[in-house]
Amino acid sequence: MSAVVLEIVELEEGGYVLRKSDAGEQAPMISIQFSEQALLEFDGQQTELARAMIALGVQVIVDSREERLLNSLKPVLH
């Protein structure tokens, strides 16, 4: 199985997306757009916030998949 490389990209219009590095024109997996009010409140820290939000979201999905996999394994009794 080949590894999938994901990247977080800041868009020219100011949003952030998570996409496969080889996605080409494919739609991003996750996108975040902050309002003007949020940008004022975050005082230049929006990049760090977007990265943290995306990283946490990906971690939740990984943990959920791992839990489902572990729950699906039935012990074999001899």
User: Dihedral through CA 37, CA 43, CA 47, CA 48, nearest 10?
Assistant: -120
Tally the domains of the chain.
1
Average pLDDT over the chain reads 88
Give residue-wise pLDDT tens across range 47-63: 999 999 999 998 999 89
User: Dihedral through CA 34, CA 26, CA 69, CA 53, nearest 10?
Assistant: -10
| Burial status of residue 18 (CB atoms within 10 A of its CB: 0-12, 13-18, 19 or more) | buried
**Domain residues for 22?**
6-72
Provide the pLDDT for residue 1.
59
Q: Is the CA virtual torsion 58, 61, 64, 68 positive or negative?
A: negative
Give domain status of residue 78, yes or no. Answer: no
pTM of the predicted protein model? 0.74
Give domain status of residue 1, yes or no. Answer: no
Tokens of 24: 């080409």
Give domain status of residue 77, yes or no. Answer: no
Give domain status of residue 31, yes or no. Answer: yes
